[in-house]
Amino acid sequence: MEKWVVTSKKSDFKKTGIEFGIDPVVARLIHNRDIVGNEAIQLYLHGTLQDLPSVWQMKDMELCVNILREKIQEKKKIRVLGDYDIDGVMATYILVTGLEELGAQVDTCIPDRIQDGYGIHQHLIDQAIAEGVDTILTCDNGISARDEISYAKAQGLTVLVTDHHDIPFEESQGERKALLPPADAILNPKQPGCPYPYKNLCGAVIAFKLILALYERMEAEPEKAMAFLEYAAFATIGDVMELTGENRILVKEGLKALNKTQNEGLRQLILVNHLDKAVLSPYHIGFVLGPCINASGRLETARLSLELLQEKDPAKAKEKAEELHELNKTRQELTEAGKEQALAMVREGSFRNDRVLVLFLEDCQESIAGIIAGRVREAFHRPCFIITRGKEDCKGSGRSIEDYAMSEELGKCQDLLVQFGGHPMAAGLTIKEENIPELRRRLNENCRLTAADLADKIVIDAAMPIAYISKWLVNQIHLLEPFGNGNPRPLFAQKDLHAIDARIVGRNHNAVKLRLGDAHGVSHSAVYFGDAQKFIDEIHVRDRLAVTYYPEINVYQGRENLQIIIQNYKVY
DSSP string, 255-298: HHHHTT---HHHHHHHHHTT-TTS---HHHIIIIIHHHHHHHHH
Q: Which CATH class is domain 55-229?
A: alpha beta
Q: Are 517 and 494 in contact (CB under 8 A)?
A: no
> Taking each helix axis from N to C terminus, what angle separates 86-101 and 303-310, rounded to the nearest 10 degrees?
40
> Which listed CATH number (3.10.310.30, 2.40.30.10, 1.10.3720.10, 3.30.420.10) goes with 349-454?
3.10.310.30
Within 8 A by CB and 6+ apart from 268, the residues are 308, 314, 317, 318, 320, 321
pLDDT for 455: 87
CATH class of the domain comprising 2-44+457-571: mainly beta
Q: In Å, what is the CA distance from 534 to each residue of 392, 493, 500, 537?
A: 46, 21, 16, 5
pTM over 0.75: yes
Residue 211's nearest CA partner among 66, 65, 90, 70 is 65
Q: What does the pLDDT profile of the chain (572 residues) look like in tens digits?
A: 688 999 989 999 999 999 999 999 999 999 999 999 999 999 999 999 999 999 999 999 999 999 999 999 999 999 999 998 999 999 999 999 999 999 999 999 998 877 777 789 999 999 999 999 999 999 999 999 999 999 999 999 999 999 999 898 888 888 889 999 999 999 999 999 999 999 999 999 999 999 999 999 999 998 999 999 999 999 999 998 999 999 999 999 999 999 999 999 999 999 999 998 889 999 999 999 999 999 988 877 889 999 999 999 999 999 999 999 999 999 999 999 999 999 999 998 889 899 999 999 998 988 899 999 999 999 999 999 999 998 789 999 999 998 999 999 999 999 999 988 888 888 999 999 999 999 999 999 999 999 889 988 899 999 999 999 999 999 999 999 999 999 999 999 999 999 999 999 988 889 999 999 999 999 999 999 999 999 999 988 787 999 999 999 998 878 899 999 999 999 98
Q: CB–CB of 305/297 below 8 Å?
A: yes
Please say whether the dihedral angle defined by the alpha carbons of residues 147, 148, 150 and 155, taken in this order, is positive or negative.
Answer: positive
Instruction: Provide the residue ranges of all domains of the chain, joining segments of one domain with +.
Output: 2-44+457-571, 55-229, 349-454
Dihedral sign of CA atoms 555, 559, 561, 563 in order: negative
Of 299, 357, 307, give the one whose Cα is nearest residue 331: 299
